[in-house]
Structure 1
Amino acid sequence: MKIPSAVKLHKKSAVLELHYEDGSDFQLRCELLRVYSPSAEVRGHGSGQEVLQTGKKNVTITAIQAVGNYALQLTFDDGHDTGLFSWDYLYDLGLNQEKFWQEYVGRLHAAGASRDPEVQVLRVDL
């Protein structure tokens, strides 16, 4: 298990920074954390039940709470607070954030959805 030696929230840039003893250092966008929340609301209750999160471009974290010695509970300004981010999951997100980001943007595009909460994308088939 990779436990960070320091966790810093940069509210202005909406980034959660994680430092590890092995020299690893990750800067995770609040938006990425929100759309990949390990909650049932996002992941569903089984394979294929994932719910695409849209309009989360400006989401920020308002509170961080340690859960035992194994996870963080993040509270987002859109009210979401049910996902427990295990240390291993946070490390995996940091290590593979570019892959996760591209998958997220690709799913939004395929669904005709937007990251921006002010934009509604409509498809018109002629």
Structure 2
Amino acid sequence: MAAPDLVDIILHKAARSLEVRFADDQVFQLPAEYLRVHSPSAEVQGHGPGPGVLVAGKQDVGITALAPIGHYALQITFSDGHDSGLFSFDYLYRLGTQHDTLWQTYLDRLAKAGPLRQP
């Protein structure tokens, strides 16, 4: 199922977050760290089935640039230089609606593996 239309994007550099607003009146504040560790890039998602790569040490990452890709996605450049993977509007909506579950799963994986959120 496709997400509602994306109607606004606001980058909050000082807060290191991206605010996205959708036509169904949903508004999500997506922290840069959350976006970085859930990047849709093959580098993070992996090249096959499974949970993907566990990205650690990104607590202080910020967003340095946003580039629209047509009318369907954003390319996000992070302060650590990562800029691959396109964040489709559908994916941003999923990251917003499933934030609590996805974030807790990430924290659980991180705790089990031992790496830290701090750089």
Q: Give the aligned partner of residue 36 of structure 2.
A: 34
Q: Give the aligned partner of residue 116 of structure 1.
A: 118
Q: 1:22 and 1:6 mapped to 2: Cα distance?
A: 12
| Displacement after TM superposition at 1:70 (Å) | 1.0
TM-score where L is the length of structure 1: 0.89
**Secondary structure, counterpart of 1:41 in structure 2:** helix
Task: Name stretches of at least 5 consecutive residues in structure 2 with no aligned partner.
Answer: none
**Secondary structure, counterpart of 2:36 in structure 1:** helix
Q: Give the aligned partner of residue 95 of structure 1.
A: 97
Q: Would you say 1:46 and 2:48 are equivalent positions?
A: yes
Q: 1:82 and 1:21 mapped to 2: Cα distance?
A: 27
CA RMSD of the aligned region, Å?
A: 1.0
Q: Give the aligned partner of residue 7 of structure 2.
A: 5
Larger radius of gyration: 1
Following superposition, which runs of at least 4 residues in structure 1 exceed 2 angstroms of deviation?
none
Indicate which of 14, 26, 33 corresponds to 1:24. 26
Q: Give the aligned partner of residue 67 of structure 1.
A: 69
Q: 2:63 and 2:5 mapped to 1: Cα distance?
A: 20
Q: Give the aligned partner of residue 85 of structure 1.
A: 87
Q: Give the aligned partner of residue 60 of structure 2.
A: 58
Q: 1:13 and 1:101 mapped to 2: Cα distance?
A: 18
Aligned length in residues: 117
| Displacement after TM superposition at 1:48 (Å) | 2.7
| Displacement after TM superposition at 1:22 (Å) | 1.6
**Secondary structure, counterpart of 1:42 in structure 2:** helix
| Displacement after TM superposition at 1:104 (Å) | 0.6
Task: Name stretches of at least 5 consecutive residues in structure 1 with no aligned partner.
Answer: 118-126
| Displacement after TM superposition at 1:40 (Å) | 0.6
